[in-house]
Amino acid sequence: MLFTKEDFGDDFKWGVSTAAYQIEGAHNADGKGLSVWDVFSRQKKKINSGHHGETACDFYHNYAEDIALMYSMNIAHYRFSISWSRILPQGMGAINYKGVDFYNRVIDFCLELGIEPWITIYHWDLPQVLQQKGGWVNRDVVQWFGYFTECCIKLFGDRVKKWMVLNEPMVFTGAGYFLGVHAPGKKGLANFLAALHHAALCQAEGGRIIKTLRSDCIIGTTISYTHLEPLTNRHKDIAATVKVDALLNRLFVEPLLGLGYPTNDVKILERIERFMYPGDEAKLAFDMDFIGLQNYTREIVSHAAFMPFVRAKLIKANQRNVPFTTMNWEVYPASIYEALKRLGSYKGIKEIIVTENGAAFNDECIKNTIHDELRINYLKNYIQQVLRAKQEGVNVTGYFVWTLLDNFEWAEGFHPRFGLVYVDFDTQQRIIKSSGKWYSDFIRKPVIVPLP
């Protein structure tokens, strides 16, 4: 099937996404405080190859070059996040206006070039001083986050109209407070349940704060959504898939829609009641203007009798004779179609924007050229599936590639390269990959030749 950008309509938004800790560097510049990732990535054996994000892509000093690069690539929408500890080094209290000046420069230069800024308020980099008080396990985080949100809107809301409250809350609570593989490295069910409830409260409270301060803002939040299928048609595999789906995909979107936590399908979630105060169930709900969908792959689920709580496990892609990326994620384009259809079936969701989709492959730089045909094919096939969902009535109105630049990919360090632009982390040289050139050509505004 051949398709073009025009098939999506004139109002469809095409962009790229990044996150502060993954690209900014300048970890202690101009008054910035430490974040949980500054501390976690310096602990032994936490990050692949001992990498850390203290310099990363040095976007803090290269932002003008990178935004100009976006402009040259015809990218008209840029999603990025605000570093909490760059604005509020102590998490609360005094504002660091040198940090504010940096984001003002980024926002103003984007607007000067006709690039619309889309800001994610929280993309995983909690100030370390707040983690020392318990972080997301401490219910006070709702107050801390509310203050940070209020600062962001008052500082930047006059120019930025598109906001996302949280980035993939299931990932930062699950990986950071249950499995311990992401910052701050905490483990255990009690930590996880407390963190997820407080994050769900912040997700809705953040929306209410933004709407109260700036009624002209468009507000969303982003949900990681993985298409799941059972390994077999056996009842045990199907039941395991239902449980994994409730945890990975439904855990934050359903409370937001006023449906509560999916405790019927995962009984262990009933223990979250110990962290709930009277009135919390109503506080979990907020009418978002849009939901940001972040999808990369499909997972296959099987019953696992010895896995605690869910009795389920995921069968890794490299064990299934399927194509996969360097993240060991299956390349399965229909996954984004299935995710869009599923999210679109919720009555309370008015609009969906794909706020992340992309792939990491083993890119080779040969004579300042990166031919990444695998990524081009990935993007083509996934975008085609977005169009398929749109043509079937799903109100999907935008697509953002993860990511603009090769960057620090959390626990995986710098090895997975997701970028449309290659970064030499020793020299900070940028090279647009073949995939970046393809995306640029695909989203280019058509040349209109006036009739004589």
Task: Give the active site residues.
Answer: 168, 356
Helix (H) / strand (E) containing 227: strand 227-230
* 146: exposed, middle or buried (Cβ count in 10 Å: 0-12, 13-18, 19+): middle
Amino acid at 279: G
Three-state SS string over 317-369 comes to: HHHCCCCECCCCCECCCHHHHHHHHHHHCCCCCCCEEEEECCCCECCCCECCE
Residue 397 CB-density burial (10 A; 0-12 exposed, 13-18 middle, 19+ buried): middle
Task: Note whether 40 and 77 are within 8 A (CB).
Answer: no
Which structure tokens are listed for 190?
């009690």
Cα 208-214-217 angle, rounded to 5 deg: 85
Residues 6+ apart with CB under 8 A from 400: 13, 14, 15, 16, 17, 77, 79, 118, 353, 354, 355, 356, 357
Q: CB of 166 within 8 A of CB of 159?
A: no
Task: Report which secondary-structure segment, H or E, holds 205.
Answer: helix 189-213
How long a stretch of residues is the chain?
452
Q: Rounded distance, CA 388 to CA 422, Å?
A: 30
Q: In sequence order, what are the residues at sequence separation of 6 or more whose Cβ sits closer than 8 angstroms to the Cβ of residue 178?
A: 186, 187, 188, 189, 191, 192
CA-to-CA dists, residue 55 to 332, 346, 394, angstroms: 33, 41, 40
**Whole-number Å distance between alpha carbons of 5 and 405:** 23
